[in-house]
Amino acid sequence: MLDALWTAATRHPFLDAVRDCTIADTDFNRWLAQDALFVADLLTFQARLLARAPRPAQGVLAGGSVALVDELDWFEVQATRRDVELEQQALPATLAYRELLLRLDAMPVDGALTGLWVIEKVYLLAWSSAASDSSPLREFVEHWTAPGFAAYVDALGELATPEGHDDVVAEVLTHEVAFWDMALT
């Protein structure tokens, strides 16, 4: 059940189309604007998580928060380049993911840390499946497959306890699938 969800969230037609360079600009740009909204929501969640995290988790979460701020700058650069307006309404899947982040925020720290690990791990795996040498979207693939990002995901993995949190893992993965689906509609 969880295996199937991991696969669905990391092997999606959106990612195949990125890899094969058949993704429509409108679909990619829709994903870009919605993901910028998601990252802003994620930063809110993560900053709050940092505030209540145990000592050993603080460094990883603080570093990750700075990386999210940089990522928001990077989204602005990408949006300008692609002539995408970032001031957009959140679509239903983005709003639903925002609700999930609020639920994680209300959870004990171990569940919330596990949710954050899934959120990042799934992006590392998903974009790895979109890799190809020649894609004009290579920069996006490289962003979420970079060694520094993989190391961050590993560090979050040290803090996560997925064994006890099947429900959290399943919920995050379900929202990831819905997010890719949204991008392609």
Q: Which residues contact ligand HMH by CB under 6 A?
A: 35, 38-39, 42, 119-120, 123, 176, 179
Nearer to ligand HMH, 140 or 165 (CB): 140
- Least Å from the CB of residue 72 to ligand HMH: 10
Question: Rounded to an integer, what distance in angstroms lies between the CA atom of residue 42 and that of residue 169?
Answer: 16
Asked whether 93 and 137 are in contact (CB, 8 A), the reply is no
Closest CA to 176 of 142, 144, 139: 144
Sign of dihedral through CA atoms 106, 94, 175, 67? negative
Q: How far is the CB of 25 from ligand HMH (least distance, A)?
A: 19
Helix axes 109-128, 25-52, angle to 10 degrees: 150
Residue 34 or residue 53: which is nearer to ligand HMH going by CB? 34
CB of 108 to ligand HMH, least distance (A): 22
Shorter beta-carbon distance to ligand HMH: residue 57 or 133:
57
Q: Are 8 and 177 in contact (CB under 8 A)?
A: yes
CA distances for 65 relative to 10, 61, 162, angstroms? 23, 6, 22
Q: E-strand spans in the chain?
A: none
Of 28 and 123, nearer to ligand HMH (C-beta) is: 123
**Shortest Å, Cβ 56 to ligand HMH:** 22
Q: Which is closer to ligand HMH, CB of 117 or CB of 179? A: 179
The least distance separating ligand HMH from the CB of residue 93, rounded to whole angstroms, comes to 9
Task: Tell me the residue number closest to ligand HMH, measured at CB.
Answer: 123
